[in-house]
Amino acid sequence: MDGKSNLIHQNRTGHSSNPQHLFKHISKVSRADREQLNNNKAFTIWLTGLSASGKSTIANEVEAWMFSGQIHTYVLDGDNTRSGINKDLSFSDVDRAENIRRVAEICKLFNDAGVIAIAALISPFAKDRLMARNIIGNDDFIELFIDCSLHECINRDPKGLYKLALEGQINNFTGINSPYEPPQAPDLHLHTDFNSVDECVHLVKNYLINKMKFAENI
């Protein structure tokens, strides 16, 4: 203990809570206990891709399939979390990283609760996706690249946001005036330009059945 503690407690950025003052409380109920009650292993499926690439649609269909098999899941969608826990964050690079950090921490909590987290966020930067993988844990992190050409996303534009971004009315819009760094080695790579939603969900199912030992009949 030294005089630095006051500084640590007053510092708004960085690690402000002095770790020496925090004591981890161990629950009497373990993650394994919760997974056993839920009758499913917990992990995180992280969908990354451009706006309008199909992330939320695929996330919801995958969840509906899992739920029909009594699997415990929860979707954390970028738009929804930005209306709640992340409503204080902008789309600057720093705030995008914080957006992803918080959602990754929430995925980790859900996994610890025995629930499969499905995160659907643009998450355009490789370093931020790596941060999410590190927070959640490599063994629990499945990266799904929802790949769709910018041309097709602009054509779809279901929210009218590409139009606004192209007109210069939105700053930091991924693909228009902010970059998207495609994953170099995603766990699964889906192409929504030429595969239907049903085909994509089928590929996710196959992946989970083969890699995560999901039963085929759920």
Q: Which of residues 24-53 bind a second copy (CB under 8 A)?
A: 24-25, 27-29, 33-34, 37-38
- Taking the least distance from each CB to a second copy, the nearer of 27 and 184 is 27
Bridge partner residues of 77 (DSSP): 120
| C-alpha to C-alpha distances, 27 to 5, 32, 106, 113, nearest whole angstrom | 28, 12, 17, 11
Q: Could you tell me the sign of the dihedral formed by the alpha carbons of 70, 137, 98, 148, in that order? A: negative
- Taking the least distance from each CB to a second copy, the nearer of 95 and 181 is 95
Shortest CB 204 distance to a second copy, Å? 15
- Report the amino acid identity of residue 176: I
Taking the C-alpha atoms of residue 14 and residue 9, their distance in angstroms, rounded to an integer, is 11
Q: Which of residues 150-169 bind a second copy (CB under 8 A)?
A: 159, 161, 164, 169
Q: Which of residues 183-202 bind a second copy (CB under 8 A)?
A: none
102 contacts 86 by C-beta, under 8 angstroms: yes
Stretch that binds a second copy, among 2-10, 142-150, 189-197, 207-215 (CB under 8 A): 2-10
Q: Is 213 in the site for a second copy (CB under 8 A)?
A: no
Interface with a second copy (CB under 8 A), residue from 131, 170, 197, 209: 170
Taking the C-alpha atoms of residue 151 and residue 155, their distance in angstroms, rounded to an integer, is 6
Interface with a second copy (CB under 8 A), residue from 42, 47, 58, 75: 75
Shortest CB 192 distance to a second copy, Å? 16
What letter does residue 168 receive in the DSSP assignment?
Answer: T
| C-alpha to C-alpha distances, 181 to 19, 55, 71, 74, 123, nearest whole angstrom | 34, 16, 32, 26, 9
Q: Would residue 123 show up in a list of annotated catalytic residues for this protein?
A: yes
Shortest CB 209 distance to a second copy, Å? 20
- Taking the least distance from each CB to a second copy, the nearer of 47 and 210 is 47
Taking the C-alpha atoms of residue 119 and residue 106, their distance in angstroms, rounded to an integer, is 10
Q: Which of residues 98-127 bind a second copy (CB under 8 A)?
A: 98, 101-102, 105-106, 108-110, 112-113, 115, 120
